[in-house]
Amino acid sequence: MKNIKIAVAQFEPKDGDKEYNFSIIEKLTQKAKEKGADAISFHELSITAYTFIKNLDRDQVFDLAEEIPGGRSCQKLIGISKKYDIPILAGLVELYKNKIFNTYLCVDSSGVIARFQKLHPFISTHFAAGNEYIVFDLKGWKCGILICYDNNVVENVRATSLLGADIIFAPHVTGCTPSSMPGRGYVKDDLWQNRSCDPVPLRLEFDGPKGRGWLMRWLPARAFDNGVYYVFTNPVGYDGDHLKNGNSMILDPYGEILAEIKSFDNEITIATLTPDKLKLSGGFRYKNARRPELYRDIIGKDHKSETIPIWLTEK
């Protein structure tokens, strides 16, 4: 297994405007290729945008949905990948067997490499939940995908890791929303509007407990505990009516940040992933030390899943 260079992107999407969002995806893909990346990852539902979907009725959500691989968006993504000769990971609303899913794709010039349906969707009651983990090959590396909330459930990460994933792609639309955790909440619009002339207050908010500070509570732990590389992507600026902090980053199996975007603009960053860290990491040893006979029946016990975040229950 050879070293691989992964690019993560962040950008401010436009609600439901696939053409605009694709224009940014293409520009950032070209930039990643020119800088030597072997693949590029975008955020959750990057082709359509995300948060605005909470206000759409069933017909409006279905209007956004497309089939895979025959749909226009999937084919366009493949076309961009072929044009720049680089695999692309991006999210869209999928129509599958008359249901819709929050889906994340990995494509290259030959077509769809991997397709993952979000396990814990909540932005709209019209989304169906996926029921399958995936592990796929990307340039000799075993990769998994977990979308946003899926990563908050530690069993999902461990299961994907145990299936063989060396890299977990974690596309998100997250941060800067209310929570029961102290310090969380929305970021004021005037800070975003004044970002060019007075960037420090906005950076302090984005890097504080509302944004990056929250990410640092758990992202390094997911990578460290499971001995995997973590590829986190997130929009910056407005997604729907929510400001998002970006901070797209790549973490190694030690839980250390290899690369992170510290910008308010549409941007990428690249990190080199090396295979040696996979077996040197603590997570590799801890997985080998497991004694599943102690907790098999405990972890597998029936349980009612509840996913709705606090900000979505606000009046």
Q: What is the CA radius of gyration of the chain?
A: 19
Can you give the pLDDT at residue 309? 86
Q: What are phi and psi of 242, to 5 degrees?
A: -110, 130
Closest CA to 38 of 67, 13, 72, 3: 3
Can you give the pLDDT at residue 311? 82
Chain mean pLDDT for the chain: 96
Is the pLDDT at 224 greater than 80? The verdict is: yes
Q: What is the mean pLDDT of residues 31-37?
A: 98
Q: What amino acid occupies position 76?
A: K
Contacts of 31 (CB under 8 A, 6+ apart): 268
* 174-212 per-position pLDDT tens digit: 999 999 889 999 999 999 999 999 999 999 999 999 999
Tell me what percent of the residues of the chain surpass a pLDDT of 90: 95
Q: Which domains does the chain have, with CATH numbers?
A: 4-313 (3.60.110.10)
DSSP class of residue 119? Answer: S
* Cβ pair 178, 314 in contact under 8 A: yes
Q: What is the mean pLDDT of residues 227-240?
A: 98
Is the pLDDT at 107 greater than 80? The verdict is: yes
Is the pLDDT at 315 greater than 70? The verdict is: no
